[in-house]
Structure 1
Amino acid sequence: MHRFLFISLALVCLLAGCSAPQTRDPATDESDSLDAYFEEEPADNEMGSAEFGLQDPMDTVYTYDGESLEIPFSITGASSGKTTEIGVLLFVDGVAQPYSAVYEDGTELEESYMQVFNLDYEQQENFDMVFQPVTGKAGETVPVMAVTILEPSFVAEGPDNPRYGFHHQESATTSRQISFVADAPAQTLATAGTDYNVVDLPQDILDTLAAWGATDSLDTTATLSLGVEDGNYIQADGKTATITVQLYGGPETDFNITLFINHQPVQLNGADYLSVRTVKNQMVEATFQIDTSALGALNTVYAIAVTPEDGELEINNPVKTASVLLVNGEV
């Protein structure tokens, strides 16, 4: 198991608004000491912490033969004197995957894209992630990864204060692999959209990178944005919202992008996710009209991009936008 601490830091938000720092899962053996990952004690203003991970060894390959997959997972509260709220998402081949949490005593949490846990210090939850995969064909081997979101119940106050600060920080496990000897069920398959544009990087992004001496980061680091500056929000009319997704940076690779509203994936022009290939020194961009008629007044929007080429490239993976407030109608 790996340990992840979610800590409020004073960061300068450069390109994509005030997004949370990404905590990468160290690519080491599961038996390594947890303390080896940290050189300093948590700050006094720590928002919460948890230890979590997929429980099987990192070289584990799960076999899908038509029966539901069961992947052991564990998460433990690690903040003394605090209750930490953590949401857990699952991605198969870079695609958001609904799952149920099944405990050893038979207790089962209803299938959902995100399971949420409120963890006191040293409180541990051990369960199997049980699911029929939403993607995969016989003969394929694809990655599976869990992604956590800190304090998912937090929603910004409103138009006068739309900031999320360091709420909704994400962290991720290292991937395991699923080998398919049977096709995923047709009724569960997720549909990919491929309607996007490749455009020149806006000059203001290039200028900001140059000013901070960070131009070289375009070669190594992917950035995902909703095109909303920090301190702003998305306004909907109660029926639809216009949302733009932008991805750039890092080596050229495939990404699957899922848009979430209130932590649930939403349809993107009839598709479940957007499948893109990045282009060096350019930006992938897509704009969607999202149905908001069933939403309340204040909502959270973010996108997560996951590359199915995980482990083959030196790139940050997954990539999450800052969470953004969606105001639906008059407030």
Structure 2
Amino acid sequence: MTDLFTPLQLGAVTLNNRVLMAPLTRRRADADHVPTDMMVEHYAQRASAGLIIAEATMAMEGNSAFWREPGIYSDAQVAGWKRVTDAVHAKGGKIFLQIWHGGRSCHPVLNNGRVPVAPSPIAITSDEVHTPEGKKAYTVPRELADDEIPGIIEGFRTAAENAKRAGFDGVEVHGANGYLLDEFLRDGSNHREGPYGGPIENRARLLLEAIEAASDVFGSDRVGVRLSPLNSFNSMKDSDPVGLVTWLAKRLNDANLAYVHLMRADFFGEQKSDVVTPFREHYKGNLILNMGYSGEEAGSAIEGGQADAVAFGVPFLANPDLPARLKVGAELNEPDPNTFYTQGEEGYIDYPTMDALAEA
């Protein structure tokens, strides 16, 4: 019987289990966006995941959206991430890097005054951004010109090359949560005309080109993509999320990816629909589901054929030994939201394992 603890062939990578670690931005890089000692320890602690998908990482310089998130565009960043991958591999783990462009979620204060870019000049209005000067309103982005888009695609290609140099087992292209590729994908944020606007096949063009660029570097069987067709985070919406996800499911079959990582719901409950069923019906590759799964529900989804694996976010933050806990039905540590973005060790590398608690 297929369950959470059955091995999985994910493209070219063999996983020991199907309890995956979702990408979690936690702002623990240094001021130059270089991974730190804390990050090495954090990821090594969680190496028992079937696959770690490391946090959203800037594919190219000048696109900071979180303040102290990591990058993968400098030699120092590559060296920092190499320490992370070496530590994870030393413990028998597998790790992909999520490569990312923040689009309109970037802010001039974080990028030496640079105005962010987006498919259309529409600002995020649902939240404010954290900066060294405190929380600030998002700015109206500059509409990206068609002739600038090849540079974005090359940025993803270079990011994949640097991720390969850093020792990652593959990359996940971030096409979710209201960042640049998702902004092009959904019609609530993409009002442009031309080859990258209008019908779904045009709006999806940039995402598909970024996937192709990463696949040229790693081989498509070491590339995944994350999608969030319902999530309203970052003021996102689409007029037909089921139609969008159905089109993507069919089209992504041609990409021969290691996996698709699908977020099943909306953080804020503004858009409600079943996007999992149509995606699973039409997509023939490995499907990773995410958002709010318990261990029991995740196991049922895999046993029922709804998913091939499930990615856990906050539960993995608070429980570095999450697979072991789920396997025996152990109680989980409670996460502390007050330390999610505090940039220190507390709430990042000090959550105890079952063994540590037993010895206490």
Task: Please confirm whether the aligned pair reaches a TM-score higher than 0.5, indicating the same fold.
Answer: no
Bigger helix share:
2
Bigger strand share:
1
Higher RCO structure, 1 or 2 (CA under 8 Å, sep 6+): 1
TM-score by length of 2: 0.27
